[in-house]
Amino acid sequence: MAKTVADVLKMGEEVLMVDLRFVDLPGTWQHFSIPTRELTAALFEDGIGFDGSSIRGFQEIHESDMLLILDPSTAFIDPILTVPTLVIICDVYDPMTRQPYSRDPRYVARKAEAYLKQTGIAQTSYWGPEAEFFMFNDVRYGGGTNSSFYYIDSAEGWWQSGADLGPNLGAQIAPKRGYFPVPPADTQQDLRSKIVLALEAAGIRVEVHHHEVATAGQAEIDMHFGPLMRMADQLLMYKYIVKNVARQNKLTATFMPKPLFGDNGSGMHVHMSLWSGDTNCFYDETGYAQISDTAKYYIGGLLKHSSALLALSAPTTNSYRRLVPGFEAPVNLAYSQRNRSAICRIPVYSKSPRAKRVEFRAPDASSNPYLCFSALLMAGLDGIQNQIDPGQPVDKDLYDLPFAEAKLVKQVPGSLGDVLDALEADYEFLLKGDVFTLDLLEAYIAYKRETELDPVRMRPHPYEFTLYFDI
User: What's the CA gap between 188 and 465, in Å, rounded?
Assistant: 36
Q: Please, which residues have CB within 8 angstroms of residue 91's CB and are 6 or more apart in sequence?
A: 22, 68, 69, 71, 100, 104, 106, 107, 110
45 CB burial (10 A radius; 0-12, 13-18, 19+): exposed
| Of 113, 359, 364, 382, catalytic | 359
Burial 249-261 (b: 16+ CB within 10 A, else e): eebebbbbbbbbe
| Of 269, 305, 345, 357, catalytic | 269
User: What's the CA gap between 81 and 20, in Å, rounded?
Assistant: 14
User: What's the CA gap between 434 and 112, in Å, rounded?
Assistant: 9
361 is catalytic: yes
By C-alpha distance, which of 110, 76, 73, 81 is closest to 93? Answer: 110
Contact 254, 242 (CB under 8 A): no
285 is catalytic: no
269 is catalytic: yes
By C-alpha distance, which of 189, 193, 190, 229 is closest to 211? Answer: 189
| Of 78, 156, 212, 364, catalytic | 212
328 is catalytic: no
User: What's the CA gap between 302 and 361, in Å, rounded?
Assistant: 11
SS3 329: coil
Q: 261 pairs with which residues across the strands?
A: none
| Of 177, 210, 340, 449, catalytic | 340
Contact 250, 136 (CB under 8 A): no
Q: Distances in Å between the alpha carbon of 60 and those of 103, 436, 437? A: 13, 20, 18
| Of 14, 38, 45, 51, catalytic | 51
By C-alpha distance, which of 454, 450, 456, 431 is closest to 441? Answer: 431
60 is catalytic: no
424 is catalytic: no
192 is catalytic: no
140 CB burial (10 A radius; 0-12, 13-18, 19+): exposed
| Of 19, 24, 104, 132, catalytic | 132
| Of 19, 24, 78, 130, catalytic | 130
SS3 127: strand
The conformation of residue 291, written as its DSSP 8-state character, comes to: B
| Of 24, 156, 361, 364, catalytic | 361
DSSP for 191-219? HHHHHHHHHHHTT--EEEEEE-SSTTTEE
132 is catalytic: yes
457 is catalytic: no
Catalytic machinery residues:
51, 130, 132, 212, 220, 269, 340, 359, 361
